Structure 1
Amino acid sequence: MCETDHLSSSGYNRRDLLQMLGVAGAGLAVAPALAADPAMAAASDLALDPKTMPTEFANYEPPTDLAVDSQAKDAAISWIDREADGIIGLNDRIWEFAEPSLAEWNSSWAEAQYLRANGFTIEWGAGGMPTAFVATFSRGTGKPVIGFSGEYDALPGLSQEKGNPEHSPLAYHHDPYAPTYGFGHGCGHNALGAAAAGAAAATAAAMRARKLDGTIRFFGSTAEEQLVGKSVAVKAGVYRGLDAFVDWHPASGNSTSWGSGNAMYSIAFHFLGTDGHGGSPLGTRSTQDAVSAMSMLTEFLRESDTAHTARMHYAIRQTGQAPNVFPTLSSIWYYAREGSPARAKILMDKIVKCAEAAAMATGTRLEHRIMGGVWNKLGNKRGAELMYANMLQVGAPSFSEADQKFGKALQKSNGSAQTGFSDKISALQPPAPVFMGGGSTDVADISWQVPTISMGTAHQPGGTKNHSWHHTATGAAHAGHVAMLVAAKYLAATTIDLLTQPQIVAEMKEEFARRTEKVKWTSMLPDDYQLPLYEPPAWFLRRTRQSWPPKGVQWPPRRIVSTETAPDLGPALPPANLPPLD
């Protein structure tokens, strides 16, 4: 979930906008803004060195001389061209597996095996998560150390035939009362992992060929869709020792940015009550009523008690399965997103109050558990400028006529303008001066440990939504291959510059130090946090040489079981003295 979109220029310069917001006076004093919400201020351009800070949103011009032509860069890009079939094969295998978060047994194994075949060593179980791994390639002094991110989890309900612009789930589960669709890569993580792995392997090949010093660490990350994997691994120290981190995400355009995103809390709520019969509901503690009441109460929050930066959404994961059976357990899962961890906590605390009120009103018992927590993302201006220069140097993706026909057909089925896939590189612009909120990513926690670069490529046509079957349809289609391979080239080219231009790494680190000077990162996960794990199959544990359960994990987990009794309805009513029927 990468934030790479940009708001259009308002026509005002930065000083005008900041003054309108009351952030800056005539001297552009940034201290009040820094004191108001340090995490949001650190992620904004207010934290940059005034000598290099873009002063006008509309007139910023990125530097043009950062991407250097080199034999090493040519070697990496040529390697991707030669090995394209292997990278595409990895992409398509992961797309076909379409495995859920925390259970990517085949997908993680395929990605790790690809890297092992290209000279990387593999360590499994990063951060205590079975499908997370770290792959390492090192040469010479081993410095600098550059990180790559690989993801491979799919999303529920987004199964779709590849290359089909009409909705046709590849996995359709028949149930006459409630048919469902299978998992699908509607966020493009099959491409994310394959392109990053291809770029890491290409960089390693160029390091060998051109005798470059450095270390590449590839982090196979589980459960990004649930915003679990990286935040847990960061807390465990898995990402320590990096000099820079290079990341990408499938998108609807070709762009990079140093903008931020929302911090987020994830909590699952469980209501426990009593059994009941639909024909005689009296004296039932209805857990289905509890989740309905909670969702209604949080809608009132959305109406009048959330800021413009806030996002709040939920899924009812478990409740009644038949109209005449009252369930003793119902569960609802919430995300609360805001511009900083502090603001996200305030919003989630309000949601918890709604849960408590719903339980009180329905006479049910409430249990809730934090499932994840991630910071707002910390961008890096110099890193984004380096990536942008390399995107221009490599060039935009070149889609075929058939690709564009497919993209327009997807847009037609979505009801959006039929413009096809973007074959232009969007101009690099400073982040919008007014943060409007948006998506979240567990890459954010990494970005507070090490200077982080993010970008996106046009892996889906404009106007179609991420987390949709439209995106799944492109994931193993030719257009998706084109966008995925050009992403691999952008990543590899940028990494070669990081290996060969120490002054840029130094500038990225200086900016990072300035941004984080007044903010201390602490994990949003509590010390007693329990990983939401599934037990791996025996073949996976055997292949990866892991034992079960991981250290510190309670297994089997504590069961959530209702022990409630029927509510007290008061003294029994006297029998009615009715007249006899005629």
Structure 2
Amino acid sequence: MNENTPVTQAGRNEETSVLSKETAQAWIDDHLGELLDWHTHIWELGEPAWREYASQAWYVQRLRDEGFEVEDGSAGMPTAFSARWSNGPGPTLLTYAEYDAVPGNSQAATTREEPREDLSRFAPGHTDPHSALGISTLAGLLATKHAMLTYGITGTLLYTGEPAEKMHGSKVVHGLRGYYDEADAIVSFHPFYMLPLCNTARWDTHCGAYYSKVYSFVCDSPETWQVSSADPHSPIPASHSAARAPGANLALTQMLTSSRSMLDSMLPATGGWSFSDAILNDGQATADNLPQRLARVQFSWRTPDIEMAEHILAVLDRNAKAAAMMAHCEVKERWVARSRPGRANHVLAQTLYDNLAEVGPPSYGPEAVALAQEVQSNLGIEVSEHPFLPETEQLIEPKEAERLLREQMPAWQRNWTSDDYVEMSHYAPLVRFYVSRPALASVPGVGPYPGWVMNALGGMRETIAPTIITAGKAIAGTFLELLTSPDVVERARAEFERRVADEPMSALLPADFAAPVELPWPDYRIDRGNGRRWW
């Protein structure tokens, strides 16, 4: 182009896009030490679902310090937030943080199996790790903001704090309350957790349905059997030696065993569905001769589609009524989550992947390799020259990842596994992408590594840094391209509206649904005097 050639607006936008991406990438490189400090802080907190008080408070303060307007405790959820920053008119883009850890998975950031300091090994720990998910998206968000200010790029950035992802907790509530309605595009990131979805974006096959429900059995009037045997002069309604209704624990065990025994009948053995349960521990009686008044059990199930999820729901509801009648109890039901399968958006998937390709895949340097080799040595495994799974340092195009994924699935199955980002995809165009987390290649003849290894590698600065750098830069690049290319945003919106019209899916919970924060979820005990935590 010579000096007399007029520069079009499209040309200016393209030049601004390139320069702003370089500036954003440089910001992440320059602030890597801080980002890793932040990650270590969230990783060490390791707070479980609906109880992420310190993690959420850190994000709220960090975002306010960065100039964002923040709603603390959004949508009635104490450990959620919603943040906003605007530089004038333009596209509105959204990404989010997750920060819940998993009970029973406490692991120190060391090369041997051991819990974090002063905690039981059954305390929560970051497994996926959500700590890296949140700091990666925060890196992309702040780098985008910096580039927008540097080049005068206008638009609005939204950032939500999403607690209890492991229970599909907050996104369905935020969605019902309208927190995603303003977004023109949503970027959903997760550290890689299963092949072939490593360093790529989902194409057609997104996550399926997820239902989770708590059944509470309440035994308020147990003393109704053999009333004639009671001493009429006793102040106790029924003699301690008299037979009485069995109590809530029997209802719970009947519900649990009957539902588990019916698994083979609920759904076919194929289709990638799963069924999990947990007993919530409030209300249990001691070993006294009083009947147990309260017992709760939670069931969660992942299915490729809503029809399959509804079949399981019908079985569980019937089992709950039967178990309650048998044990002379009342049953109360409380939804935890009920989410729809996700919607694809090819425009955003391709845009995100193109920006990921510009950044390149993660690369593990000599310090990361040395730590991985130390893990191998401590496990008595022959040390590898380069221990990391090869796919963690390779890109895979979305269409090729889709092809390989479909090879693992029945032809009739449309969706695969589950994650609560799917609810967001019903409110705005969304891309779901993955960047590798540190994972070691299996050694022939040895088998897979124990679970603590990936958890530990997720907490080490040297091994988690490539995830944060790559994901943060990919998010910033995608945001800046969308902010400077209105036609891409328009095409993504048109595709979204076409897909909604072709396959409408109404929300599965009422608009006033409240998050189940009142239930007795696992929690830390905190000494208010010295701040010490224990499990």
Q: TM-score, normalised by structure 2?
A: 0.78
Question: 1:23 matched to which residue of 2?
Answer: none
Question: 2:366 matched to which residue of 1?
Answer: 401
Superposed CA RMSD: 3.3
For the structure 1 residues 313 and 221, does the alpha-carbon distance in structure 2 shift closer, same or farther, using more than 3 Å as the test? same
Letter in 2 for 1:98: G
In 2: Cα distance, 1:355 partner to 1:380 partner: 40
Equivalent of residue 363 in structure 1, options 328, 332, 344 = 328
Post-superposition CA distance 1:325-378 (Å, at most 9, x none): 663322110112222334322321211212222223333332221122111111
For the structure 1 residues 282 and 485, does the alpha-carbon distance in structure 2 shift closer, same or farther, using more than 3 Å as the test? farther
Q: Deviation of residue 463 (structure 1)?
A: 7.3
Q: Are 1:257 and 2:202 an aligned pair?
A: yes
Q: 423-432 or 192-201, which moves further after superposition? A: 423-432
Post-superposition CA distance 1:509-556 (Å, at most 9, x none): 122112111333432223563432259xxxxxxxxxxxxxxxxxxxxx
In 1: Cα distance, 2:179 partner to 2:380 partner: 41
Alignment partner of 1:123: what SS? strand
Letter in 2 for 1:316: I
For the structure 1 residues 523 and 493, does the alpha-carbon distance in structure 2 shift closer, same or farther, using more than 3 Å as the test? same
Post-superposition CA distance 1:444-490 (Å, at most 9, x none): 11101111011112214167999954443233202112212211111
Q: Deviation of residue 138 (structure 1)?
A: 1.4
Question: 2:305 matched to which residue of 1?
Answer: 340
For the structure 1 residues 413 and 241, does the alpha-carbon distance in structure 2 shift closer, same or farther, using more than 3 Å as the test? farther
Alignment partner of 1:100: what SS? coil
2:45–2:54 Cα contact (<8 Å) kept: yes
Q: Are 1:314 and 2:277 an aligned pair?
A: yes
Alignment partner of 2:106: what SS? coil
1:159–1:184 Cα contact (<8 Å) kept: yes
Q: How does 1:8-407 map to 2 (within 5 A)?
A: 70-141=18-89, 143-173=90-120, 181-252=122-193, 253-258=198-203, 259-273=205-219, 283-307=244-268, 308-309=270-271, 310-318=273-281, 327-407=292-372
For the structure 1 residues 463 and 414, does the alpha-carbon distance in structure 2 shift closer, same or farther, using more than 3 Å as the test? farther
Question: 2:230 matched to which residue of 1?
Answer: none
Q: Deviation of residue 399 (structure 1)?
A: 0.6
1:262–1:340 Cα contact (<8 Å) kept: yes
Letter in 1 for 2:265: S
In 1: Cα distance, 2:372 partner to 2:29 partner: 24
In 2: Cα distance, 1:280 partner to 1:385 partner: 72
Q: Deviation of residue 68 (structure 1)?
A: 10
Q: Deviation of residue 298 (structure 1)?
A: 1.9
Percent of pairs with identical residues? 25
Post-superposition CA distance 1:22-58 (Å, at most 9, x none): xxxxxxxxxxxxxxxxxxxxxxxxxxxxxxxxxxxxx
Alignment partner of 2:515: what SS? coil
In 2: Cα distance, 1:229 partner to 1:303 partner: 31
Structure 2, unmatched stretches of 5+, are 1-13, 224-239, 443-447, 520-535
1:251–1:466 Cα contact (<8 Å) kept: no
For the structure 1 residues 436 and 242, does the alpha-carbon distance in structure 2 shift closer, same or farther, using more than 3 Å as the test? closer
2:96–2:137 Cα contact (<8 Å) kept: yes
Question: 1:559 matched to which residue of 2?
Answer: none
2:191–2:435 Cα contact (<8 Å) kept: yes
Question: 2:503 matched to which residue of 1?
Answer: 519
Alignment partner of 1:172: what SS? coil
2:303–2:417 Cα contact (<8 Å) kept: no
Alignment partner of 1:122: what SS? strand
In 2: Cα distance, 1:68 partner to 1:467 partner: 47
For the structure 1 residues 83 and 369, does the alpha-carbon distance in structure 2 shift closer, same or farther, using more than 3 Å as the test? same
Q: TM-score, normalised by structure 1?
A: 0.72
1:188–1:471 Cα contact (<8 Å) kept: no
Equivalent of residue 388 in structure 2, options 416, 420, 429 = 420
Structure 1, unmatched stretches of 5+, are 1-65, 174-179, 536-582
Alignment partner of 1:357: what SS? helix
For the structure 1 residues 285 and 264, does the alpha-carbon distance in structure 2 shift closer, same or farther, using more than 3 Å as the test? same
2:303–2:418 Cα contact (<8 Å) kept: no
In 2: Cα distance, 1:446 partner to 1:114 partner: 24
Q: Deviation of residue 203 (structure 1)?
A: 0.1
Letter in 1 for 2:489: V
For the structure 1 residues 86 and 472, does the alpha-carbon distance in structure 2 shift closer, same or farther, using more than 3 Å as the test? same
Q: Deviation of residue 204 (structure 1)?
A: 0.6
Post-superposition CA distance 1:479-505 (Å, at most 9, x none): 112212211111111111111222222
Question: 2:466 matched to which residue of 1?
Answer: 482
1:222–1:228 Cα contact (<8 Å) kept: yes
Letter in 2 for 1:298: S
Alignment partner of 2:262: what SS? helix
Q: Are 1:498 and 2:482 an aligned pair?
A: yes
In 2: Cα distance, 1:334 partner to 1:226 partner: 11
Q: 79-88 or 110-119, which moves further after superposition? A: 110-119
1:231–1:374 Cα contact (<8 Å) kept: yes
For the structure 1 residues 163 and 425, does the alpha-carbon distance in structure 2 shift closer, same or farther, using more than 3 Å as the test? farther
For the structure 1 residues 214 and 312, does the alpha-carbon distance in structure 2 shift closer, same or farther, using more than 3 Å as the test? same
2:113–2:452 Cα contact (<8 Å) kept: no
In 1: Cα distance, 2:50 partner to 2:380 partner: 31
For the structure 1 residues 221 and 528, does the alpha-carbon distance in structure 2 shift closer, same or farther, using more than 3 Å as the test? closer
Alignment partner of 2:166: what SS? coil
Q: Deviation of residue 245 (structure 1)?
A: 0.4
Letter in 2 for 1:474: L
2:36–2:465 Cα contact (<8 Å) kept: yes
Q: Deviation of residue 408 (structure 1)?
A: 6.3
Equivalent of residue 493 in structure 2, options 509, 514, 517 = 509
Q: Deviation of residue 198 (structure 1)?
A: 1.3
Q: Deviation of residue 205 (structure 1)?
A: 0.4
Alignment partner of 1:517: what SS? helix
In 2: Cα distance, 1:467 partner to 1:266 partner: 28
Alignment partner of 2:398: what SS? coil
Letter in 2 for 1:425: L
Letter in 2 for 1:269: Y
Alignment partner of 2:93: what SS? strand
1:67–1:386 Cα contact (<8 Å) kept: no
In 1: Cα distance, 2:441 partner to 2:102 partner: 20
In 2: Cα distance, 1:463 partner to 1:437 partner: 27
Letter in 2 for 1:272: V
In 1: Cα distance, 2:116 partner to 2:449 partner: 17
Letter in 2 for 1:423: E
Alignment partner of 2:356: what SS? helix
